[in-house]
Amino acid sequence: MLMFAVSRLLRAGLTILFVMTFAFVVLRLSGDPALLIMSVDAPPEAIQAFRKAWGLDRSLWEQYFAYIGHATTGDFGKSMRDGRPAIELVMERVPATLVLTLPALALKVGIGIPAGIYAALHRNTFADRLTMAVSVAGFTMPSFVLALVLVLIFAVTLGWLPASGADSPVHAILPIVTLGTAGAAIMARFTRSAMLEVLGQPYIRAASAKGVTWPRVVARHALPNAAIPTVTIIGFMIGSLVAGAVVVETVFAWPGVGRLLVLAVANRDLSVVQAILMVIAAWMVSANLAVDLAYGWLDPRVRGIAASGH
Amino acid sequence: MAMRESFPAALRPTGFGALARRVAGLPLGVTVAGLWLSAMVVIALGADLMLPYSVTAFDLKARLMPPVLFGGGIAHPLGTDELGRDVFSRLLLSIRMSLLIAFFGTLIATTLGTALGFLAAHFRGRVESVILMAIDFQASMPFMIIALSVLAFFGNSLPLFVALMGFHSWERYARIARGLTLAANEQGYAAAVRQLGAGPGRIYGLHILPNIASTLIVSMTLTFPEIILLESGLSFLGLGVQPPLTSLGNMVGYGREYITRAPWIMLAPAGVIVLTTLSISLLGDWLRDRLDPTLR
């Protein structure tokens, strides 16, 4: 298990390094960072000072290592817009995003998993078809369309809920429902197919044949085995807790990381974009790491494979 | 397939009769999806010939007219926007733009991914590890975020944007191509052609590619709607297709400002997005059942 954990940790570190390198390469490819980050009409002395401060007058390799050094300490420079350190701006937005995405995750898991299990156990009934139809709609409907349809119904026509803003807890309802509905559809579909896969296995028939009652077969034999692929999807959803609300936050004018990213991209505020990129990468990688470790804990076979190096 | 076998060769019906019979054998959902997509393709190819109005022609006397069944006139079947421009005409051009971007994006992703998968399977060793690492990286970051940061760094232009869409899900094809090529190399036919002295280009292009094509095509039915959703999402945020060009996501983003007074500006393109992605998914599911046993 230790070997397994160490190898996963190394991979996680490597991915972060890859993201940093990606940001560095893309930044260098896009032209002179000094001219990009400073405005075009900045005085030449200021541009020179910026080049010196960021080491742009040194060789590419030195620049690369300096960049990695800055990035690992969370120093991405200051936001072009309000002059505050970019990483600070990003970190103070994270809680607002989590206020939306955590309840949405609870909705996804709380509705999606039971619905998927129910559909799998009652295959080809009306309930199963209904679940699948809703889930296909959830797959194919873009979040901004769902968001706007909900706004049209609940804010414009019925007037029950506010259309956008973040002044009160009521403002969070529509964005949470938007995020949760689409995710629950995906969750239901994956849970259903994982359950169907497991229910078709010989050991389920064997358990039934030796006289185990059906509820017990489901609870003791089917559910634990179907949990493994489901954990992957949940891990993926945890990974996107910070990054997964870009569109929805923008539609509802919710002051989270996603909206900051859209504004930063529109204004080409590069330090902020880089800081967000790194925060999201670090979060995703940690989530993936947690899922890998959970796998190792849930499924002893995974440990063995990783430790023997295959 | 069963249909074809049920007729003796000499009596096999030809022309429209056969086509009609074959269509009648399809599930209803697939038929409807196919019809909808055919209509979309016709629009994409011939939008210029079909435009009832010029997209820029405005008619200030007919501002914010509702669609035809909601109190509007037949002159503007989907209503007009706040300058009296015809929503239907704009919709046709948007459909063309969104489909073209998704088409070229899918093409780039497939070509790039398959080529990299072949390279990894052919050279193994260090080349393979580098490609596998790139696959891991691509799979570990949400592509929306990568796309947004590239747009921030490079600015936006249509060719760059299309190329960017082509980087969406290339890793899926790289994985499939590598896996299936490794498997094919252990089967007799690839080894036999190699023994006969065929070069790599011939082996991969003429022998392995046709054998893995069905799996790749089924994956394309996943990538195509994903790119439509990604493109429309970015365009909706104002970071994708830039005015004066217009795409479906663009139209929704723009119609959003009139959601209280003229929801049809937004609902028409939103409906097209949902129906198109839904149709491709239905068709893709059906194709997967017919063509590809490995993805089931």
A265 Cα to chain B: minimum distance (Å): 5
Domain ranges of chain A: 16-72, 92-303
Rounded Cα distance between B11 and B168, Å, is 47
Residue type, A297: W
Rounded Cα distance between B264 and B87, Å, is 9
Residue recorded with tokens 């369309």:
A145
Closest-CA residue in chain A for B259?
A152
DSSP state of B258: G
Closest-CA residue in chain B for A268?
B152
Determine contact: B154 vs chain A, CB below 8 A. Answer: yes
Rounded Cα distance between A238 and B139, Å, is 15
Rounded Cα distance between A198 and A225, Å, is 7
Per-residue pLDDT at B114? 92
Per-residue pLDDT at B110? 93
- In degrees and rounded to multiples of 5, residue A298 shows phi and psi of -75, -35
Nearest Cα to Cα of residue A270 among A4, A36, A51: A36
DSSP state of A57: T
Determine contact: A137 vs chain B, CB below 8 A. Answer: yes
* Cβ separation B270–A140 shorter than 8 A: no
Rounded Cα distance between B30 and A134, Å, is 18
ipTM score: 0.78
Determine contact: A282 vs chain B, CB below 8 A. Answer: no
Rounded Cα distance between B42 and B32, Å, is 15
Determine contact: B151 vs chain A, CB below 8 A. Answer: yes
Report the interhelical angle of A257-267 vs A270-298 (nearest 10°).
140
Specify whether the CB–CB gap between B43 and B275 falls below 8 A.
Answer: no
| Weakest-pLDDT range from A296-300, B109-113, B275-279 | A296-300
- The tens digit of pLDDT for each residue in B247-256 reads 888 888 888 8
* Cβ separation A140–B274 shorter than 8 A: yes
Residue recorded with tokens 């049920």:
B6
- The tens digit of pLDDT for each residue in B19-73 reads 666 666 677 778 888 888 888 888 888 777 777 777 666 666 666 667 666 666 6
What's the predicted TM-score (pTM) here? 0.81
* Cβ separation B144–A243 shorter than 8 A: yes
Determine contact: B37 vs chain A, CB below 8 A. Answer: no
Determine contact: B274 vs chain A, CB below 8 A. Answer: yes
pLDDT (tens place) for every residue of chain A, 310 residues total: 677 778 778 878 888 888 888 877 877 776 666 666 666 667 777 777 777 766 666 777 777 887 788 777 777 777 777 778 888 888 888 888 888 889 999 998 998 889 888 888 888 888 888 888 888 877 788 888 888 888 888 887 787 877 777 777 778 888 888 888 888 888 888 888 888 888 888 888 888 888 888 888 888 888 888 887 788 788 888 888 888 788 888 888 888 888 888 888 888 777 788 888 888 888 888 888 888 777 777 776 666 554 444 4
Rounded Cα distance between A89 and A74, Å, is 12
On the 0-12 / 13-18 / 19+ scale of CB atoms within 10 A, B208 is buried
Query: For residue B293, is pLDDT > 60?
Result: no
User: What homologous superfamily does CATH list for A92-303?
Assistant: MetI-like (1.10.3720.10)
Q: Which residue has the higher pLDDT, B122 or B10?
A: B122
Beta bridge pairs of residue A85: A78
